[in-house]
């Protein structure tokens, strides 16, 4: 005898389940749960916009309010994906505009967004509330003006790290005088002239719910005081350019303005920073949990002073000007630190310009018990240091180390860093993300395949000796979703032997490796649910011998079949390509 709850009860229970993974699991229990779940899913996440078509999403989830889409592969951030590769959002907006007048939230990452798309969003969704564009490009201030003018209920406009064509500084004025619902505004990516100060001040003044405001570089230091006084309720604030001639009246104005912000928890910006003006933020430092100084070109002593004022810091982004000495102070002052990112101030210099070594990372790992996420650029490393770090900080979930010179050996023993990274994966049992660098043999991949059972994303560059390395990873890492590889001697064998694994992952990127065109064709032929895309700007891959390695390879699972918007330098290996062999 079947026992079941009425649909309404199940729907009510499901409404407490927010995470996509859980929702997906729920939908697989049985057909009736699948049906109920699909009607009440409100947030849809599509990790690869080409894995599924807009129509398929709309058909399955008839009533979603929020969608998140990701486009280009991660390595696009580093110029490895040529312009025009794809990731266009317009087809999605077009389909949703017809089906979903009640859509409220759109979040996009690494997608091409045109003004046409923005205008269509503004026109189609009457209750539109949230637009987050992360590392997107293809639009101008005209598109932003359309959003500002039409979206009366807009709460969030976040343009983090986008490339925007500046055509007019006046797009902000398109927010009507009656518009007051803004809660979050991030325009830090806009160029010099893309903002009108008076419009900004008026907007900030009338939006009393504004909690997040990240300004762009064009906003001068002396304007900050006014803006802060209009918005003392701010929780997150990003300055513009933080430089001016040192004047006591400007300084005290600024310090006063910061003091009036009792809720401030996060600061960023600090372009062109002049150290004399830094103490103006001291009044808010004790409450700060997040500090982004990754554009602040100030030296270690000033950074140390600043960091010592922030005992509650949980997240710090900083340039390597902080040096080992600064990281030691961080380790002793900031016991709540969870995330640290140290960026290189001079990534292309041949010689180190700062005294930042593996010691800084060791100090922070020892001193900060809650540290779980690290991105660290440095110029030397040792197995000893990595083993120490792994033993002391087994709670790492994200560990990304970039030793600037490729194939750098352990500086103490001149050995590969296999053992060090091996310790990381062995001790850090919850590691979800790992980026490798330095001199590495197939051995490190054996460790990774053996121990990194929770690893979801792996980034590899200039490492390994043979296909065995790739085989260890593909056959051993059970939770692997994204694998990106560049300049490694990995070829056909491991890829073909683990073809089935690729269907359990979101995507695989391989560039400047040794995978032949013949292998790509074979893979495309044998695996219909994979899109095997060859990216090669030298010309058609079949104009060269089949055993020639392809320049770049991007493989991803898809139920939408090969895409139709490929540029001339991308070829998809589909089932038919086998016939042409």
| Smallest distance from another protein to CB 486, Å | 8
Which residue from 363, 366, 360 is spatially nearest to 378, judged by alpha carbons?
A: 360
CB 221 within 8 A of CB 273: no
Interacting positions 131-150 with another protein (CB under 8 A): 135
CB 362 within 8 A of CB 385: yes
| Smallest distance from another protein to CB 445, Å | 19
Nearer to another protein, 378 or 519 (CB): 378
Interacting positions 4-33 with another protein (CB under 8 A): none
Interacting positions 307-336 with another protein (CB under 8 A): none
Which residue from 307, 240, 231 is spatially nearest to 262, judged by alpha carbons?
A: 231
Task: List the beta bridge partners of residue 407.
Answer: none
| Smallest distance from another protein to CB 191, Å | 5
Cα 196 to Cα 205, 219, 347, 362, distances in angstroms: 14, 9, 34, 46
Structure tokens at 421: 């990274």
| Smallest distance from another protein to CB 348, Å | 4
Nearer to another protein, 216 or 531 (CB): 216
Place of tokens 């009108």: 196
| Smallest distance from another protein to CB 77, Å | 5
CA 451 – CA 447 distance, rounded (Å): 6
Structure tokens at 10: 């199940």
| Smallest distance from another protein to CB 318, Å | 13
SS3 327: helix
| Smallest distance from another protein to CB 118, Å | 20
Interacting positions 62-81 with another protein (CB under 8 A): 75-81
From residue 89 to residue 128, the character string flagging contacts with another protein as x (rule: CB under 8 A) and all else as - is ----------------------------------------
| Smallest distance from another protein to CB 488, Å | 13
Interacting positions 250-309 with another protein (CB under 8 A): 271-272, 294-295, 297
Q: Is 468 in the site for another protein (CB under 8 A)?
A: no
CA terminus-to-terminus distance, the chain? 56
Nearer to another protein, 166 or 565 (CB): 166
Task: List the beta bridge partners of residue 340.
Answer: 316, 374
| Smallest distance from another protein to CB 195, Å | 11
CB atoms within 10 A of CB 405: 12
What DSSP string describes 394-445? TT-SEEEEEESSTTPPPTTT---SHHHHHHHHHH-TT--EEE--SS--HHHH
Q: Is 170 in the site for another protein (CB under 8 A)?
A: no
CB atoms within 10 A of CB 550: 26
Query: Residue from 284, 334, 354, 404 that binds another protein (CB under 8 A)?
Result: 404
Query: Residue from 67, 131, 145, 218 that binds another protein (CB under 8 A)?
Result: 218
Please, where are the H alpha helices in 505-567? 517-526
CA 75 – CA 26 distance, rounded (Å): 33
Nearer to another protein, 522 or 534 (CB): 534
CB atoms within 10 A of CB 376: 25
CB atoms within 10 A of CB 297: 12
Nearer to another protein, 344 or 367 (CB): 344
Please, where are the H alpha helices in 132-196? 141-150
Q: Is 83 in the site for another protein (CB under 8 A)?
A: yes
Nearer to another protein, 377 or 490 (CB): 377
CA 226 – CA 566 distance, rounded (Å): 49
Q: Is 490 in the site for another protein (CB under 8 A)?
A: no
Q: Is 414 in the site for another protein (CB under 8 A)?
A: no
Structure tokens at 184: 């979050």
Q: Is 376 in the site for another protein (CB under 8 A)?
A: no
Q: Is 512 in the site for another protein (CB under 8 A)?
A: yes
Nearer to another protein, 368 or 550 (CB): 550
CA 116 – CA 98 distance, rounded (Å): 15
What DSSP string describes 229-286? HH-TT-SEEE-SB------HHHHHHHHHHHHT-TT--EEE--BT--GGGGGGGHHHHT
Nearer to another protein, 105 or 323 (CB): 323
Query: Residue from 211, 471, 552, 557 that binds another protein (CB under 8 A)?
Result: 552
Residue 83, φ and ψ in degrees, nearest 5? -55, 140
Nearer to another protein, 379 or 443 (CB): 379
Task: List the beta bridge partners of residue 185.
Answer: 157, 213
Q: Is 486 in the site for another protein (CB under 8 A)?
A: yes
CA 290 – CA 427 distance, rounded (Å): 28
CA 212 – CA 175 distance, rounded (Å): 17
CA angle centred on 318, ends 317 and 322, rounded to 5°: 145
Query: Residue from 47, 91, 191, 279 that binds another protein (CB under 8 A)?
Result: 191
Q: Is 192 in the site for another protein (CB under 8 A)?
A: yes
Query: Residue from 54, 143, 344, 464 that binds another protein (CB under 8 A)?
Result: 344
Query: Residue from 34, 39, 282, 343 that binds another protein (CB under 8 A)?
Result: 343
Q: Is 348 in the site for another protein (CB under 8 A)?
A: yes
Query: Residue from 22, 478, 537, 575 that binds another protein (CB under 8 A)?
Result: 537
Q: Is 220 in the site for another protein (CB under 8 A)?
A: no
Longest dimension (CA), the chain: 82
Total residues in contact with another protein, by rule CB under 8 A: 47
Q: Is 193 in the site for another protein (CB under 8 A)?
A: yes
Q: Is 198 in the site for another protein (CB under 8 A)?
A: no
Nearer to another protein, 272 or 336 (CB): 272
Residues that bind another protein (CB under 8 A): 75-84, 135, 161, 163, 166, 189, 191-194, 217-218, 271-272, 294-295, 297, 343-345, 347-350, 377, 402, 404-406, 435, 459, 461, 486, 512, 537-538, 551-552
């Amino acid at each position: 005898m079947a026992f079941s709850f009425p649909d309404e009860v199940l729907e009510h229970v499901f409404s407490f389940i927010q995470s996509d993974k859980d929702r997906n699991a729920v939908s697989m229990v049985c057909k009736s749960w699948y049906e109920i779940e699909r009607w009440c899913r409100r947030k849809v996440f599509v990790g690869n916009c080409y894995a599924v078509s807009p129509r398929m999403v709309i058909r399955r989830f008839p009533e979603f309010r929020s969608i998140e889409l990701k486009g280009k592969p991660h390595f696009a951030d580093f110029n490895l994906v040529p312009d025009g590769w794809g990731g266009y959002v317009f087809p999605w907006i077009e389909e949703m505009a017809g089906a979903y007048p009640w859509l409220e939230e759109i979040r996009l990452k690494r997608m091409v967004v045109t003004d046409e798309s923005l205008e269509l969003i503004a026109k189609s969704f009457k209750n539109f509330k949230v637009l987050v564009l992360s590392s997107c490009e293809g639009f101008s201030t005209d598109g932003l003006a359309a959003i500002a003018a039409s979206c009366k209920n807009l709460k969030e406009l976040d343009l983090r790290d986008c490339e925007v064509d500046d055509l007019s500084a006046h797009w902000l004025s398109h927010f009507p005088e009656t518009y007051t619902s803004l809660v979050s505004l991030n325009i830090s990516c806009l160029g010099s002239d893309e903002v009108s100060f008076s419009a900004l001040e008026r907007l900030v003044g009338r939006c009393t719910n504004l909690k997040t405001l990240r300004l762009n570089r064009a906003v001068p230091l002396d304007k900050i005081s006014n803006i802060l006084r209009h918005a003392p309720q701010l929780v997150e604030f990003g300055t513009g350019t933080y430089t001016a001639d040192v004047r006591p009246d400007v300084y005290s104005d600024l310090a006063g303005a910061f003091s009036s912000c009792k809720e401030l928890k996060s600061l960023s910006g600090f372009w062109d920073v002049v150290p004399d003006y830094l103490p103006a933020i001291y009044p808010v430092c004790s409450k700060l949990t997040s500090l982004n100084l990754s554009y602040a070109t100030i030296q270690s002593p000033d950074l140390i002073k600043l960091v010592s004022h922030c005992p509650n810091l949980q997240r710090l982004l900083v340039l390597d000007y902080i040096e080992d000495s600064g990281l030691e102070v961080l380790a002793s002052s900031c016991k709540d630190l969870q995330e640290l990112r140290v960026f290189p101030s001079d990534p292309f210099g041949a010689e180190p310009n700062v005294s930042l070594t593996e010691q800084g990372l060791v100090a922070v790992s020892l001193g900060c018990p809650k540290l779980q996420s690290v991105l660290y650029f440095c110029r030397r490393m040792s197995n000893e240091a990595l083993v120490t770090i792994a033993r002391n900080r087994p709670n790492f979930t994200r560990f990304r180390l970039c030793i600037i010179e490729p194939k750098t050996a352990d500086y103490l023993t001149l050995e590969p860093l296999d053992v060090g990274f091996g310790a990381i994966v062995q001790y850090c049992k919850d590691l979800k993300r790992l980026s490798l660098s330095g001199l590495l043999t197939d051995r490190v991949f054996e460790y990774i395949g053996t121990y990194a059972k929770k690893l979801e994303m792996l980034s590899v560059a200039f490492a390994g000796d043979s296909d065995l390395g790739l085989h260890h990873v593909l056959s051993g890492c059970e939770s692997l979703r994204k694998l990106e590889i560049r300049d490694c001697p990995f070829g056909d064998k491991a890829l073909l032997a683990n073809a089935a694994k690729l269907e359990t992952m979101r995507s695989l990127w391989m560039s400047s490796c040794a995978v032949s065109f013949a292998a790509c064709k074979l893979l495309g032929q044998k695996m219909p649910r994979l899109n095997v895309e060859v990216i090669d700007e030298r010309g058609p891959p079949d104009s060269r011998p089949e055993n020639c390695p392809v320049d770049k390879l991007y493989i991803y699972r898809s139920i939408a079949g090969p895409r139709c918007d490929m540029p001339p330098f991308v070829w998809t290996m589909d089932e038919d390509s086998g016939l042409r062999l």
